[in-house]
Structure 1
Amino acid sequence: MKTLRRIAVALGAAALAASAWAQGVLPGPVVSTQWLADNLDKVQVIEIRNDAKSFTREPEFETTKDGKKVLDEFGGHIPGSRLFLAKELRTQREIAGNKVSYMMPDRATFEKVVQAVGVLADKPIVLVPEGQKISDFNDAARLHILFKAYADTPVALLDGGMVAWLLEGRPWSKDAPAPLTTTWKATADRFASLVADSPDVAAAMEKKDVQLVDTRATSMYLGVFKRDYVYAYGHIPGARNVPLETLFVTRGGAIRLLKPETYRAVFQSLGVDPSKPLITYCNSGNDSSLPWFIAYEILGNQQARNYDGSLHQWTLEKRAMNAPVPAAM
């Protein structure tokens, strides 16, 4: 029954997205800087930052000897955009007696944060990462999951992020966002169809009917080293490794996403069928958010989920791990 309900919810979400894009509100799950510049009046822009001060800091540029414009100091924002702090994407939760960090906020908490940011309920959203490093896009994809789970508003990601916007010489502002608290409400609850928990992952490991996709660096996957908040080396037994570094390129000084056919080939070459059920995971659930976005949104796999607790929670619970090589000392 639980599986059928998830499938039904996923199909409903897919129909909603397809309808929104067919109507020309958003061209797809990823938009270009040119599209955004041409359609700023039709969308609301939300910029995801770790450093709130960068929102009102003036960006600084320099020109290299070969005439290329580079960003020396990141700052500024797209005029009229709203600021969403990345720290609001993570919280601590007690699960089966364990204090699990880095978890997504629950429905009620997310609703309050979105209201405080000043998000409107009736306008499509474009999420803008900083664009300096790939973790910026993971933050944006994590926020995308939450909007997808709790709202019916169409959401897209800006390719290249704010860095691309600045380097292309597009308008920017350093004005502080005007205070705005909205009455935005969570109108849906698709969380279970988009986000996996430990029992889901354990069932996938045992039954082998859902692919487990480890998106960390290969050295962590093999067990050469680990993060300090992960309590065992290696990977979940049966998981395939699709390192995050294979899913983007840096071009023109900004992080760029790839074409669907390229992503499909990357997944397939690493032993993952991107059209079949899969669960992405990493150390804490953040670095697997963009791979989830790629599978679910760009490749249209409505059976893709992201494991929120990831190896932090999995190893807290002392579940099975496979470490093919000895850990580095």
Structure 2
Amino acid sequence: MKGKLLFAICVLGVVAQAASASGLPGALVTPQWLSRHLNEVTVVDIRDDMKNLTQEPQFGGVAASGKKSLLQTGGHIANAIAVDFNKIRVDRIVDGVKIQAQMPTAQRFTKIMDDSGLNKSDKPIVIVSVGDSVSSVDMATRLYFQLRFFGEPRDKIAILNGGLNAWLQDGYPVSVDKIAAATGNWTAGPADQKILASLEQVKVGLREGSYQFVDARPVDQFLGVVRSPVDKTPGHLAGAVSFPTDAIVRPIGAAYEFMSARDYKMILAQFHIRPDVPTISYCNTALFASGAWFVMSEIVGNPNSKLYAGSMIEWTNLGNPTVGLPD
């Protein structure tokens, strides 16, 4: 009897271990974790230069950290599907004005992901950017946001921290084979409106003081010292606080990585950003802002964090006011 009981316990232990192995540890995974669970997830590569998917990475010896010194990124994780970042945002006409880099419709986003080869699956999704800059990292957070908005459960999607560059620095292999064209059958689900801020919600939030507004652009753009070419006027939303791009991720060798919730709470305090109040993040085109939203929502754990996807490109081109140095 004891032998049968011991056998049953062992079997249950193996089953439990297998079940936990198939789940994501959180919104971020490490190269080590992904290497161990590569066959249990769908890897989605996101970048804006599709040519280097098939280029060999270049190394220059071993850095002081003991990791390979990566000189030039290249390749992709084997069996990944590739998404062109340039395609996941669209032009929209708002009040007769053409606004670039906006959220696609559910139908359009479904086609983009199916054209990239994404299938309906019980496997979790791990998004991999190149990870060589803040912009690259935020391509991953923008895709993460859109997948979440269009129905992917929070516990079924994660980002590889540090992206492909972290993977390469840790000595893991890549493929330089051309990714075979395939049509997927992924379908957008009901939109999660809790994480998206509309233009009207921004106006109400500013008027009533019901939201903390976080500006995720470089400091010079926040102050209005310089104006982004896509914005009609310089400066920021009245009352907004700055969470500048260089405080969102840190470079580890050639890879830019997110930090811990504890680190971010200390950083947010320095910028007078409260981690636990309703928050709307914005930038120029909601690329950098998606990184700020990811930090606030998925790492720090603020359940009332929204992304203003229209951001300053919509706000200023529709004639809404900003504060800061005049242009």
Distance across 1 between alignment mates of 2:63 and 2:31: 26
Question: 8 Å contact 1:131–1:161 — kept in the other structure?
Answer: yes
Deviation string 1:198-239 (CA, Å, 9 cap, x unpaired) is 111111111011111011111111111111111112111011
Normalised TM-score (structure 1): 0.88
Q: Structure 1 residue runs of 4+, over 6 Å off?
A: 64-68
CA shift for structure 1 position 65: 8.9
Q: 1:264 to 1:68 in 2, by over 3 A?
A: closer
| Count of aligned pairs between the two proteins | 305
Mapped to 2, the partners of 1:73 and 1:88 lie a distance apart of 25
Choose which of 153, 161, 165 in structure 2 pairs with 1:159. Answer: 161
1:152, distance to aligned residue in structure 2 (A): 3.0
Deviation at 1:188, TM superposition (A): 2.3
Taking the aligned partners of 1:80 and 1:318, their CA distance within structure 2 comes to 46
Matched ranges for 1:199-210 at <5 A: 199-210=200-211
Partner residue, 2:171: 169
Aligned to 1:6: none
> Alignment partner of 1:272: what SS?
coil
C-alpha separation between the residues in 2 aligned to 1:265 and 1:49?
31
What amino acid does structure 1 have at the position aligned with 2:96? G
Tell me, yes or no, if the aligned pair for 2:115 and 2:182 is still in contact at 8 Å. yes
Deviations 1:147-184 (A, max 9, x none): 10112351100011101111211011011112221221
Matches within 5 A, 1:182-197: 182-190=184-192, 192-197=193-198
For 1:184 and 1:53, the matched residues in 2 are separated by 25
Larger Rg: 2
Name the aligned partner's letter for residue 229 of structure 2. D
2: CA distance between counterparts of 1:74 and 1:179?
A: 23
Give 3-state SS (helix, strand or coil) of 1:137's partner: helix
Instruction: Measure how far apart 1:69 and its partner are.
Output: 3.2
Which runs of structure 2 are paired with 1:82-97 in the superposition (5 Å)? 82-97=81-96
* 1:100-154 Cα shifts (integer Å, max 9, x gaps): 1111211101101111111121221000010110101111111001110112351
Give 2:13's aligned residue. Answer: none
| Matched letter for residue 290 of structure 2 | S
**Helix, strand or coil for the counterpart of 2:142?**
helix
**Structure 1: unaligned runs, 5 residues or longer:** 1-20
Gaps of 5+ in 2: 1-18
Paired residues for 1:273-288 under 5 Å: 273-288=274-289
* Cα distance in 1 between the residues matched to 2:302 and 2:265: 11
How high is the TM-score relative to the length of structure 2? Answer: 0.89
* Structure 1 residue 269: Cα displacement: 2.4
Identity of aligned residues (%): 31
Distance 1:296 1:227 in 2: 26
Cα distance, 1:326 vs structure 2 = 5.3
